[in-house]
Amino acid sequence: MTASVPMATTARAMRSEAGRLGGGIGALAVLSLAALSAVPAAAQVPPLPGTSVPASSPSDGIPLGDDIGSGEAAGVSEGGSAAPWAEAGPVRLGTLGFPYTALATPDASTRGWSFTPSLGLELEATDNLYATRRNRKADFITRLQPGLLFTVDTARLQGVFNYQPELELHAAQGSQNGIDHFLNGQLLLTVVPNAVYVDLRGSAGVQAAGGGYAPTVGETGSRRENDVQTSSFQISPYVVHRFGGTATVQAGYALQHVSQSLQDGADVAVTPTGQRYFSNQDFTAHEFYGTVRSGEDFGRLALEGQAVATEYDGTGVLDNAYRRNVSVESRFAINRFFSVLGEVGYEWLRYSGFPPFQVSDTIWSGGARLTFSDESFITARYGHRDGFDSARVDAALTLGGRTRFYANYAERLTTGAQRAADLLTTTTLDELGNPVDTATGAPLAQPFSNSFLGVQSSLTRLRTASASISQDWGRDTFILTVSYERQRPIATEFGTVPTRQSGTSGSLTWAHDLTPFTSAVSYVQYGTLKTPARGSGDVFTASLALVTQLRPGLAATLQYMLTNRSDDFSGGRATQNVILAGLRQTF
């Protein structure tokens, strides 16, 4: 067993130690310290190793600066898996996505394992449990949060597993009692070194079906029957073989399963006017893939061919659906700073629902990458995929020694359940099991624990954009974030009503180390949104929290949070005050 996380990372560690922590301090802490650390985010991510697939390098020694990336929006494959040798910020072994990128075996001196159980207790008092304008109901809530953090780095097994169920008990509103599950895990088993591997991944989280809550704060105020529990798991055996400096071949199979279900036996979510916009979803996917990638013998030119076929057995629009594609990507390094990117291919898509959606069309894209250093880059593409033209931009820049900038823009065709599967294959995990974007190295809020927008059963054309800038001044860290998301339904599950929804949110987080053992974290957020359950509205949230280590292994939190919101169905503004106090003991 291991001791508790050092207090040098107290605020960030509390994200893992407290899970949701009532939707407050945990999310704030990971944003304020994990994203704002003076060490680049990608450098903080420990490897989940497999085999080393070195990036191609030109004969004159000019580094290409990145691996070939997928030209599709959001950097996910047709089957929802990470694009082959997907573009990453700093090209570091262990920070590129699965299953197409093999990862490096760690140095023997770093191998080992740790097993850290913990137990948390949280008390919450609120004057408006459901965050309503009328008929306000006060309540006192007790949460019991056992946890298990397991990390392993041996010759045959590497990874991290963080699981924390949460039992919630209400003093006044007993109908809201229940158990939620929160999980992040990635494990890689080496069957035959440099040849055969098995990758296992899983995630779980809870969000409010109707949306209307600050993106990183959670769904405090949501009725339990309106909460959606999402669970996603994946197992993928794959093989890798390298033909000297000429080429590397990788092939494998991925089995995915995702379920999204409303709590307390409910199976549909309805608008205030009685229209169904979400019903319980699940699918099992079988994905077969193969890639061939050129080696360093090709010098400045890097080529990659891939074939992917994913078959879905699921509910709603994923009933008898499939995504299949073949493509060839290329990258040519003009010099060490500038590379030209291109892609051509063909795809076949099918989704059920009303109306049925099918695509049989070409794939193409073109773009460029500017590489300023290992930690600073800008990649931009424009192309045709999923039946429409779209752009994709990923950027991660170090501006001096204290400032870090992240930005992303993407557009793709997906469902809510597929987004949960995408998280498994487009992220890696930090040492506490928190997801980190493989494209930029930025910390991520899981899409299925983000309650800003609602959950729908439709196939949607999803557009996302985000930008954040952070500064680290030793005892003080700051992060300013702006995000935008738009969902336009393309095909709808029978029995539900499609609704366009969108949201724009901005937040400012400030973390200050009061002592070596105590940190204060403040958070202010404002957003406007349109969702099926709320219509048009806005939400303002402010929070102040203290995190301290009472003794080695024992951490305490105290938080106050104010939420003020309005929407088309409330007839005015609703205010909610929340006070949280928590303890967590690691063993």
The domain that contains 184 carries what CATH number?
2.40.170
54 belongs to a structural domain: yes
Instruction: Give the list of residues 6+ apart from residue 109 with CB closer than 8 angstroms, or none.
Output: none
Q: Would you list the DSSP string of 476-488?
A: EEEEEEEEEEEEE
221 belongs to a structural domain: no
Structural domain total, the chain: 1
pLDDT of 214: 83
Q: Would you list the DSSP string of 529-550?
A: EEETTTEEEEEEEEEEEEEEEE
85 belongs to a structural domain: yes
Note whether 114 and 98 are within 8 A (CB).
no
pLDDT of 81: 34
Low-confidence ranges of the chain (pLDDT < 70): 1-111, 216-221, 445-448
- Which tokens go with 63? 């580094």
* CA pair distance 21, 12, nearest whole angstrom: 13
Domain that holds residue 396: 7-208+227-586
485 belongs to a structural domain: yes
pLDDT of 219: 55
pLDDT of 138: 96
Nearest to 68 by CA among 499, 412, 323, 367: 367
222 belongs to a structural domain: no
pLDDT of 266: 80
215 belongs to a structural domain: no
pLDDT of 111: 56
Q: HSE, CB side, 13 Å, CA atoms: give it for residue 159.
A: 18
Query: Which pLDDT tens digit goes with each residue over 10-25?
Result: 333 333 333 333 333 3
Note whether 458 and 317 are within 8 A (CB).
yes
CB atoms within 10 A of CB 39: 10
CB atoms within 10 A of CB 80: 30
220 belongs to a structural domain: no
99 belongs to a structural domain: yes
pLDDT of 19: 37
Query: Which pLDDT tens digit goes with each residue over 222-242?
Result: 788 889 999 999 999 999 999
pLDDT of 438: 77
pLDDT of 10: 35
Instruction: Give the list of residues 6+ apart from residue 392 with CB closer than 8 angstroms, or none.
Output: 71, 72, 73, 74, 75, 367, 379, 380, 381, 382, 409, 410, 411
* CA pair distance 34, 475, nearest whole angstrom: 14
Mode of pairing for the β-strands spanning 476-491 and 196-208: unpaired
